[in-house]
Amino acid sequence: MFTRLSMPTVSDKLDLRDDSHLRSLDIRYIWTLNGCRVTDEILHLVPIKENNFWLTLRAIKLWAKRLAVTNEILQGKSDWPKLFEPQNFFQKYIHYIVLTASASTKEHHLEWIGLVESKIRVLVGNLERNEFISIAHVKPQSFPGSRELCKQSGYVSMWFLGIVFRKVENAESANVDLTYVIQSFNDTVYSQANYLNVLKEGMKIEAAHVKRKHLHHFLPAETLQKRKKQSMPGSSQNASGLQGKRTSSDGSCLDSSRDTDSRTPDNSSSLPKISKVDTATAERERNAVYTSCSCAISV
């Protein structure tokens, strides 16, 4: 968001709670400022921010995202620290879409991934409009391609989208064909690249549906493994028995996507299945996964 203030320079110590800064501003700029102004006002009114308020606010956010863990705690089946346990995005879902952008040179790659990344929200929106998909959750952090993949395609970046499929009601089987969704996204990116005159030879986009058990062909083991709990410095046991744990940072910039309880049941009989892949070698299996880029999935 951007707001133009009626002043020649903006100081680091600028207090946006001062209503005088709103004078002569366009209404759109005032609306843009309202979010941070409200947050600053709340923090200003809270006497002890560092402990009780921040811990409680964090608990409320986690409770809203993890509406099953909290119920277990209230029923006496779990303790409060469980709510603060860090989650690993790559342990969270059963199904993923791997989006790969590649270019032949470093300069072209930097330009290309910026354009692709700016359009991923379009892909997320299109996926969630599919009747068989309830959640499409993108991890905003990109990952470099493996050494083998870079040998084939040059400079490579990958994004991962966690997918939750709806259960198929009153049907033994159904076909979920995401080809149109993927192709529509590709067309959008290439069309924008042509319009901006940035499309170069060697710039490519690929997408593949991958199960969690196959992610090790795309990412190193340390990225996929579950994280250990980390204590929150200064957290204290309060009257209601709430004790905090700090969630370890996963390197993401901003993740405003939906969050879900990590204990998603593996209803294998009612979830999409990807066709069998060649497991002779890791490289052959990874290539076999990529051959399913048409994303025709059997449910």
Structural domain containing residue 42: 19-84
Q: Using the structure block, give the residue that is written with the tokens 């270019």.
A: 103
Greatest CA separation for the chain? 69
Q: Is the pTM of this model over 0.85?
A: no
How far apart CA 52 and CA 295 sit, in angstroms, is 48
Please give the residue that has the higher pLDDT: either 5 or 261.
5
Q: Do 48 and 190 lie in a common domain? A: no
Mean pLDDT of 236-264: 36
pLDDT on residue 167: 78
Q: Do 197 and 132 lie in a common domain? A: yes
CATH of the domain at 94: 3.30.70.590
> Pick from 61, 84, 107: which residue ends a domain?
84
Q: Do 210 and 279 lie in a common domain? A: yes
How far apart CA 265 and CA 195 sit, in angstroms, is 44
Mean pLDDT check: name the lowest of 21-30, 165-174, 221-230: 221-230
Does the pLDDT of residue 259 top 90, yes or no?
A: no
Can you give the chain as a three-state secondary structure string? Answer: CCCCCCCCCCCCCCCCCCHHHHCCCCHHHHHHHHHHHHHHHHHHHCCCHHHHHHHHHHHHHHHHHHCCHHHHHHCCCCCHHHHHCCCCHHHHCCEEEEEEEEECCHHHHHHHHHHHHHHHHHHHHHHHCCCCEEEEEEEEEEEECCHHHHHHHCEEEEEEEEEEECCCCCCCCCEEECHHHHHHHHHHHHHHHHHCCCCCCCCEEEEEEEEHHHHHHCCCHHHHCCCCCEECCCCCCCCCCCCCEECCCCCCCCCCCCCCCCCCCCCCCCCCECCCCCCCCHHHHHHHHHCCCCCEEEC
Q: Do 56 and 186 lie in a common domain? A: no
Domain assignment present for residue 46? The answer is: yes
Does the pLDDT of residue 246 top 50, yes or no?
A: no
Mean pLDDT of 56-65: 84
Domain count, the chain: 2
Q: Do 148 and 203 lie in a common domain? A: yes
Domain assignment present for residue 290? The answer is: yes
Does the pLDDT of residue 288 top 80, yes or no?
A: no
Question: Given pLDDT bands bounded at 50, 70 and 90, which one contains residue 222?
Answer: confident
- Tell how far CA 222 is from the center of its chain: 18
Q: Do 100 and 188 lie in a common domain? A: yes
Q: Do 29 and 157 lie in a common domain? A: no
Question: Given pLDDT bands bounded at 50, 70 and 90, which one contains residue 172?
Answer: low
Domain assignment present for residue 35? The answer is: yes
pLDDT on residue 173: 65
Q: Do 73 and 174 lie in a common domain? A: no
The residue count for the chain: 299
pLDDT in tens, 83-97: 888 778 888 888 999
Domain assignment present for residue 230? The answer is: no
Domain assignment present for residue 134? The answer is: yes
How far apart CA 53 and CA 41 sit, in angstroms, is 14
Average pLDDT, the chain: 75
pLDDT on residue 272: 36
Domain assignment present for residue 249? The answer is: no
Q: Do 135 and 273 lie in a common domain? A: yes
Q: Do 167 and 114 lie in a common domain? A: yes
Does the pLDDT of residue 132 top 90, yes or no?
A: no
Mean pLDDT check: name the lowest of 4-13, 108-117, 134-143, 161-170: 161-170
Domain assignment present for residue 112? The answer is: yes
Mean pLDDT of 226-253: 39
pLDDT on residue 101: 92
Question: Given pLDDT bands bounded at 50, 70 and 90, which one contains residue 289?
Answer: very low
Mean pLDDT of 222-228: 70
> Pick from 62, 84, 106: which residue ends a domain?
84
Q: Do 32 and 174 lie in a common domain? A: no
Q: Do 155 and 281 lie in a common domain? A: yes
By percentage, how much of the chain surpasses pLDDT 70?
73
Domain assignment present for residue 6? The answer is: no
> Pick from 84, 104, 135: which residue ends a domain?
84
Burial code (b: 16+ CB inside 10 Å, e: under 16) for 94-111 equals bbbbbbbbbbbeeebbeb
Mean pLDDT of 181-196: 91
